[in-house]
Structure 1
Amino acid sequence: MPEHRSRKDAARNREAVLAAADALFARSESPEDVTMADVATAAGVGKGTLFRAFGDRAGLLRALYGARLEPIREAVETGRPPLGPGTPPQERALALLDALLCFKLDNRRLALALEGTGSGSPYRAEHYEQWHGLLRAVLEQIPGLADSGFTAHALLAATRADLVEHLAGQERQPRERMRAQLANFATRAILASGHQGI
């Protein structure tokens, strides 16, 4: 029984930490302003609990990012339109990119914090590999498309958190304009890559 209670406590603490970190990142001017001590205090847990559960700040960021992205991943994997297999692959690719852009617009500080952790190449990060793999798999279904791996990298570069922050923050571009620009760019890139493959 005590072991069951400790697992429940750990799960409750994890949820409290993720909720606290989420709120702190949403309110912060700069992602660097949010410390592990801030998160522990806001969640009502000790720093030791935080470090045991997540390892370090990067581990906490990955967990929070993963929890926030889960609905998109679920939509892709369960086949919900327009992300699921029932939709033509080009439309699926555009829907996936749009979902990622909207996610990063809605979670600008969190996305910046995770992508700017300085822990090596962003292309080796687990979340990046997952989204690259998903997008590449969709692009591979488009007849005649050349080099789906590179095309997926190039398209995902247009959703990088630092670019999203620059466009939305510094240039103050409206959300709908950014979505339309991404769809236009991605459509042209996919068509150009398809022509090269013919």
Structure 2
Amino acid sequence: MTEPERLRADAVRNRTAILRATEELLTRYHPQQISMEQIAAAAGVGKGTVFHRFGSRYGLMRALMQERAQDLESAITAGPPPLGQGAPPRVRLLAFLTAVVDLVARNKGLLAALGPAAPVTTAPVTTASASVTTVPEQEPREAHPVYKSWHGHISQLVYQQRQDLDADMLAHVLLATLHSEPILNALQRGDGNRLDRTLRDLVTGLLPE
């Protein structure tokens, strides 16, 4: 193996180790209780490696959520029905919401870490005393690529079934339930099935066969 190939292989291993360590820590701690130092120690890498790969804790959580969502994305685009193409829009939407509830229920800590107040990058600000501080910039939740993908898929299926509805707003409403504190608390108690049933009731009421 050449030196560049070895470095690339090391980078892939480090990235995988960091993401797995983060995922394991999230099963035991709230995101705000997890430091980059803890993640680096659990992954067996230096703290600098974690920052180099992901930039910030938010960047790390974002990357992990995107990885968790990739399997669902593949099922939508290339998998069999009802998640994949071939089923009626209403059936696909119900299957998708069930899959999303399951994913969120298994990754509650990630969802909490990706709230709208989470820092994305830092920008230097010069004060009157000429000292330099850093101020976190904010990213709205709807700008997150996973959210945008899910919203686009839901709104498309709603529009295909009922063109008289505001598919864009309805998609936001359905996804907003997954980010509310009472819902996250319910998922923490293991009430994912209740949420799934309620979302199905809403969809079947709005999108009759």
TM-score computed with the length of structure 1 as normaliser = 0.87
Q: Per-residue displacement from partner, 1:66-123 (whole Å, max 9, x unpaired)?
A: 1111111110010322111211101111111111111111111122112365333211
In the other structure, the counterpart of 1:6 is: 7
- Candidates 153, 162, 165, aligned match of 1:134: 153
Contact residue 168 and residue 175 of structure 1 kept, 8 A: yes
- In 2: Cα distance, 1:31 partner to 1:77 partner: 31
Once the two structures are superposed, residues 19-40 of structure 1 have per-residue CA deviations (whole angstroms, 9 ceiling, x without a partner) of: 1000001111x22101111101
**Distance (whole Å) between structure 2 residues aligned to residue 114 and residue 143 of structure 1:** 31
Give yes or no for contact 1:78–1:84 (8 Å, CA) kept in 2: yes
For residue 175 of structure 1, report the CA deviation from its aligned partner. 2.8
Residue 64 of structure 2 is aligned to residue 47 of structure 1: no
Secondary structure of the corresponding residue to residue 159 of structure 1: helix
Partner-residue secondary structure (3-state), 1:115: coil
The residue that corresponds to 1:58 in the other structure is: 58
Partner of 1:156: 175
SS in structure 2 at match of 1:141? helix
- Aligned residue pairs total 189
CA contact (8 A) 1:58 1:117 kept: no
Specify the code of the residue in structure 2 equivalent to 1:3. P
- Tell me, what secondary structure is at the counterpart of 2:181? helix
Q: Could you tell me which runs of 5 or more consecutive residues in structure 2 were left unpaired when the two chains were aligned.
A: 119-137
1:123 to 142, 148, 161: 142
CA distance in 1, matches of 2:17, 2:205: 44
Alpha-carbon distance in 2 for matches of 1:31, 1:186: 32
CA contact (8 A) 1:112 1:161 kept: no
Kept in 2: contact 1:97–1:156 (CA 8 A): no
Residue aligning to 1:184: 201
RMSD: 1.9
The structure carrying a bigger helix percent of its residues is: 1
Q: Is the 8 A contact 2:114 2:141 kept in 1?
A: no
Corresponding residue number in structure 2 for 1:168: 187
Moved more, 135-144 or 9-18: 135-144
Q: In structure 2, what is the Cα distance between the partners aligned to 1:189 and 1:59?
A: 37
Seq. identity, % = 35
Q: Partners of 2:83 and 2:190 in 1: how far apart?
A: 26
Unaligned runs of 5+ in 1: none
Indicate if the aligned counterparts of 2:178 and 2:184 stay in contact, CA closer than 8 A.
no
Q: Which residue type is aligned with residue 194 of structure 2?
A: R
**SS, match of residue 84 in structure 2:** coil
Whole-angstrom distance in 1 between the partners of 2:159 and 2:50: 41
Q: SS of the counterpart of 2:178?
A: coil
Deviation at 1:167, TM superposition (A): 2.0
Match of 1:78 in 2: 78
Moved over 3 A (4+): none
Larger proportion of strand: 2
Alpha-carbon contact 1:151-1:190 (below 8 Å) kept: no
Q: Which has the larger radius of gyration?
A: 2
